[in-house]
Structure 1
Amino acid sequence: MITRPRPILRRNVFHRPWYMQAVDVAHRLTVLSLVAGTVYYTAFTLRMLYLNRKYRMQYSIEQREEMARKRADAEASVAAVTAPKESIN
């Protein structure tokens, strides 16, 4: 009978000492919390950038309209002050 060599089996990870398993769990929790926090804060930052841009554009439009209104009022008052003398008499 031919004897075959036994295959090299991968070592089972659950046969480690308890402290190695505890360190592994702590490491996994740390990595997962860092990744989740990074994703969350990246999404939060992108949302704030989007909203700030949207509000800034709206504010800019309102400011332009207000400046146009003030300019029209100033031109009307200048036109009233510098009216021709015939229209005053």
Structure 2
Amino acid sequence: MINRPRPNLRRNVFHRPWYMQAVDAAHRVTVLTLVAGTVYYSAFTLRMLYLNYKYRTQYSIEEREEMARQRTGEESPVAAVTAPKESMN
């Protein structure tokens, strides 16, 4: 059997040319920016959906109360404020 030297499987990864290191750094910055932006805007979108849900719920409750007041014949608070007052003389 012939004894051949083993091939060096570990290449010199850390001593790459400067332009490969620069491209690698630019790629990492780009990927991290895209990932961070996606997370940020996803959180922003979920927050806006939640706030819109809260607003719609509150609005629908107020709208139902207003409709109930109109059905019972009560004046709405806006109409009471804007209605002309009788003179107190």
Q: CA deviation at 1:4?
A: 6.0
Report the equivalent of 1:62.
Answer: 62
Report the equivalent of 2:77.
Answer: none
Q: Percent identity?
A: 82
Q: Whose radius of gyration is greater, 1 or 2?
A: 1
**SS of the counterpart of 1:13?**
coil
Runs of 4+ in 1 over 6 A off after TM superposition: none
Gaps of 5+ in 2: 75-89
Report the equivalent of 1:78.
Answer: none
CA distance in 1 between partners of 2:57 and 2:12 (Å): 60
CA distance in 2 between partners of 1:10 and 1:34 (Å): 32
Report the equivalent of 2:42.
Answer: 42
Spell out the pairing of 1:14-29 with structure 2 (5 A cutoff): 14-29=14-29
Q: CA deviation at 1:50?
A: 1.0
The alignment yields a C-alpha RMSD, in angstroms, of 1.6
Alignment length (residue pairs): 73
TM-score between both structures, scaled by the size of structure 2: 0.72
TM-score between both structures, scaled by the size of structure 1: 0.72
Amino acid at match of 1:67: M
Report the equivalent of 1:86.
Answer: none
Q: Per residue, is there more helix in 1 or in 2? A: 1
